[in-house]
Amino acid sequence: MMDGGLSAGTPRGTARPNVLSWLRRLQQYALKETLIGYGLILPSLLVFLVFYYGPAIFLLYISFFHWNIFASRSSFVGLHNFVVLANQPLFWQSLLNTGYYVLLVVPVTTLLALGLALLLREARNIRGGGLSQALVFLPHVTPVVATSIIWTWIFDPNFGLANAVLRVLHLPQLGWLASAHWALPSVMIYTVWHSVGLYTVLFLAGLSTLPKQVLEAAQMDGARGWLAFRRVVLPLISPITFFVILLATITTMQTFSQIYTLTGGPHGGAGGPAFSTTTDSLLIYQTAFLYLHFSLASAMSFVLFMLILAVTLVQKLIADRMVFYR
């Protein structure tokens, strides 16, 4: 029982050598330095344990136990919460909405960010180049509620800018946030606007590390324009592209504030019209904090947790085949 493989270097079988080598390994640490080290990591460790890792483990517990925040007792109910969840049409609707939202926002944001980065790349040393980069990035640091206010005005069906632009272009007027068809796309437009600057900056950082010699060599060999971009630049920045897609997917799967604010806030029935903008995180919020159904909400949270984990792993597997690490 003792030789649980504490050190892999010593032969198995007897307990003593393992414990000894383990102690020997401990000896290389000075006691005082160790204590100071633990003392220094303690404050942040406490925060991470109490507010992040603790709740993550606790989530497992409350999804499988019928659990009430005011009751002291709870009992194991196994998959009961998940069965109830699977019978909620709104839950499936929220997954569909989230999928629709993610599958449109992530590719659009990534392509737009790459385009903007290529456009801004040479501008860094030109007058005004820094300014355009700053303006593209600016929306990302703005508070979501404050900027959602102006976007609800833009999307106003009667007086808004969006319909004014459509009128000039002789296109049909849209209901935007008031229509079940266009409400989620309206939120998508806001999200792209709010986040594309971040990914542009990440792409710019990736582009700035490209080795000059490789690009020059490609040009010497006659690779220019589109060909050079596709065959040389794109493979070289593939690690950044992977990172951007991963980050964008994980972030958009969890969009909350702009959906809540743009589609109605606390009394206006956020998630509407007709549940067309009810995504997973909004439904978790409403189930837990509006309808106070904590066990159902934690089952949903568990599903979301697993979904994000699965998406991350799948993307990692794809990336291992496609990403070119120098």
Site residues for other proteins, window 64-93 (CB under 8 A)?
69
- Tokens read off for 47: 């925060």
Give 70 or 76: the residue with its C-beta nearer to other proteins.
70
156 binds other proteins (CB under 8 A): yes
Of positions 138, 274, 317, 322, contacts other proteins by CB under 8 A: 138
* 148 in Cβ contact with 258 (< 8 Å): yes
- 284 burial type by CB count under 10 A (0-12 exposed, 13-18 middle, 19+ buried): buried
Residue 148 CA to chain centroid, in angstroms?
20
Q: Which of residues 258-287 bind other proteins (CB under 8 A)?
A: 260-261, 265-268, 280-281, 284-285
Of positions 4, 8, 51, 75, contacts other proteins by CB under 8 A: 51
136 binds other proteins (CB under 8 A): yes
161 binds other proteins (CB under 8 A): yes
289 binds other proteins (CB under 8 A): yes
* 262 in Cβ contact with 186 (< 8 Å): yes
Q: Which of residues 227-256 bind other proteins (CB under 8 A)?
A: 250, 253-254, 256
Of positions 6, 30, 180, 217, contacts other proteins by CB under 8 A: 30
Stretch that binds other proteins, among 71-79, 192-200, 222-230, 316-324 (CB under 8 A): 192-200
Residue 273 CA to chain centroid, in angstroms?
25
CB of 220 to other proteins, least distance (A): 21
Residue 245 CA to chain centroid, in angstroms?
9
Binding mask 88-127 for other proteins (x = CB under 8 A): ----------------------------x--xx-xx--x-
Of positions 15, 20, 45, 274, contacts other proteins by CB under 8 A: 45
CB of 107 to other proteins, least distance (A): 19
297 binds other proteins (CB under 8 A): yes
- Helix 144-154, helix 183-208: angle, nearest 10: 120
DSSP state of 173: P
Q: Which of residues 171-190 bind other proteins (CB under 8 A)?
A: none
Stretch that binds other proteins, among 8-16, 42-50, 224-232, 313-321 (CB under 8 A): 42-50
Residue 7 backbone phi and psi in degrees, to 5: -130, 135
What is the 3 state secondary structure string of 199-251? HHHHHHHHHHCCCHHHHHHHHHCCCCHHHHHHHHHHHHCHHHHHHHHHHHHHH
Element (H, E) at 65: strand 65-66
Number of other CB atoms surrounding residue 78 within 10 Å: 10
Give 11 or 51: the residue with its C-beta nearer to other proteins.
51
Q: Which of residues 8-27 bind other proteins (CB under 8 A)?
A: 26
CB of 295 to other proteins, least distance (A): 9
